[in-house]
Structure 1
Amino acid sequence: MTQAGTERAGSARTMRVRRLLRVRVSLGFELVAVASWIVLIALVMAGGPHGHGGAAHTHGTGGAAGPGGPAPAGPAASGSLDLAMWTLMSVAMMLPAAVPVLEHVGTNSLRRRRQRAMATFAAVFLAVWIGYGALLLWIAPLWARLPGEAVLASTLALAAGWQLTVHKRRALRDCHRSSPLPPSGWPAVAGAGRFGLRHGGACLRSCWALMLVMAVANGSGGGSGMLGWMVLLTGIVTTEKLARKPRRPTHLAAAVLAAAAVAVALAHGLA
């Protein structure tokens, strides 16, 4: 190899090392998602606050204490705990799929306001999911008195069907659309917030049925089973968002959800 070739090879290796060592602009948000998973696992393993139930747990059963147990918290206190748990789940499950968009916001913002733009986007994006969680908590009593396995099987079937609709494909396509990001001042803040709202809305249209499954599964069983559902659904959401051709993973997810619906229905029928 000539000296020039050796220098070019060395320069290429140096650039690869620099790229590996370069701090990712979204690293802080990735660490937040990891921390959320750690906290959720610790809460579930410790049996609270929703190791026995979850985000869709009904609160209209009165205030009497169980045999040998303390009186449960009132509806307002329990509801706030449920919403806090849902918020933690939203950060853990939805933030990883939004990392490429966060990187886009960071790299297309001025260096001095990069973190502020990313934080604005993330706050608005997560606010969309927290609002959806509040809606689910409000309507949870509609399914809370029904057999949990039947509700879960029906919700899984609904999610599988939604995966195959044209509305799902359009929403997933909208998740990959960009938005203007003004460079500075209040227009920059508004631009990041508007992008977060637009992306959060598209993500909600794409994944509302999956997160409905999460709410029902959490309320039906909680505990370690909840973590299993979280891992499965997070994998589906992240794979769909990151895939260059999402149609195949979307159809595969529909098949997995349909199989899960059948399994839950059969298990309930054989019990």
Structure 2
Amino acid sequence: MAPLGAVRARLPRTAPAPRRPQPRLCLLFELAAVAAWIAVIALTVTGAAVDAAHHHTAPSHAAHAAHAAHAVPGPGVFGGLAIWALMCVAMMLPAALPALAHVGANSLRRRRQRAMAGFAAVYLAVWTGYGALLLALAPLWSRLPGDAVLACALALASGWQLTVHKRRALRDCHRSSPLPLSGLRALAGTGRFGLRHGGACLRSCWALMLVMAVAGGGPGMLGWMAALTGIVTAERFARTPRRSASLAAAALAGAALAVALRPALS
């Protein structure tokens, strides 16, 4: 009788079944965010956005946009909203990727991309509406010293990071929602989820985007965009969002102090 070890040695080895690669559900939206960043950088480097702001056509700064809208109705308003929407795609769409993945994973394959596009449209519409509100309110600060306005906005954002309302909004940003699979109920469910998630994100990040609205154009705008996008994305993907919010509050407070002291140090 052959030893047990020899019998085991003669048994054929079964190759492990190859794993089926999981599709990147959000690839198109990731590419959209990258394209928006490239567009904003191109507009800033070429000076097109800044020139447009001075000519009341496509402002890159909310204050310039509102002043343009006050002086020349029509193109200035729509141009300002277009630039704001582009910035929202670049800055806020990455934070919505987990929610987009939830929509894609819980939708039928034949309507998956349509459902994700519908969610993204509603989500970005919430932020576009906030941009329209900022354009309307911008005359309140457009004539004040830019450094003072930016320092106040940074201080406000820092304080908001530490409030209970911020924590509740962050918690709501991490919540999912059951989605119907087909028919009008699926369309309505996706829209409700986009509205709910966009509202939670707006409650969480409205002060950060206010900083973006008063930060001004030029290369400095890109720096603020990158910093604020990092804060928003870190809060959304962090395992402990509350800690990320506290660290962001400290960074924003330091930035507010630096901006407030800049005129005295220059």
Separation in 2 of the partners of 1:114 and 1:91?
20
The aligned residue for residue 38 of structure 1 is 38
Separation in 1 of the partners of 2:222 and 2:124?
20
Separation in 1 of the partners of 2:265 and 2:30?
42
Letter in 2 for 1:55: A
The aligned residue for residue 176 of structure 2 is 178
Does 1:99 find its partner at 2:106? no
User: How does the TM-score come out when normalised to structure 1?
Assistant: 0.87
Shift of 1:5: 11
- What runs of 5+ residues in structure 1 fail to find an aligned partner? 64-72
Separation in 1 of the partners of 2:254 and 2:11?
59
| SS across alignment from 2:209 | helix
Letter in 1 for 2:46: A
Q: Is the 8 A contact 1:150 1:268 kept in 2?
A: no
Separation in 1 of the partners of 2:114 and 2:131?
25
> What per-residue deviation string (whole Å, max 9, x for no partner) do you get for residues 94-128 of structure 1?
00111111011001011111111101100000000
Separation in 2 of the partners of 1:43 and 1:80?
16
Shift of 1:79: 1.8
The aligned residue for residue 237 of structure 2 is 242
> What per-residue deviation string (whole Å, max 9, x for no partner) do you get for residues 43-98 of structure 1?
000001236752221554899xxxxxxxxx82421221111000000000000111
| SS across alignment from 1:183 | coil
The aligned residue for residue 108 of structure 2 is 110
Q: Comparing both chains, which one has the higher relative contact order based on Cα–Cα distances under 8 Å and sequence gaps of 6 or more?
A: 1
The aligned residue for residue 139 of structure 1 is 137
Does 1:191 find its partner at 2:186? no
Distance 1:183 1:44, change over 3 A: same
Match of 1:255 among 236, 250, 255: 250
Letter in 1 for 2:50: H
Identity %: 66
- What runs of 5+ residues in structure 2 fail to find an aligned partner? 1-7, 54-59
User: How does the TM-score come out when normalised to structure 2?
Assistant: 0.88
Q: Is the 8 A contact 2:40 2:86 kept in 1?
A: yes
For 1:3-18, list aligned pairs within 5 A.
Answer: 7=14, 11=17, 14-15=18-19, 18=20
Shift of 1:177: 1.1
The aligned residue for residue 67 of structure 1 is none
Shift of 1:173: 0.1
Distance 1:270 1:217, change over 3 A: same
Q: Is the 8 A contact 2:81 2:131 kept in 1?
A: yes
| SS across alignment from 1:56 | helix
> What per-residue deviation string (whole Å, max 9, x for no partner) do you get for residues 126-146 of structure 1?
000000000000000000000
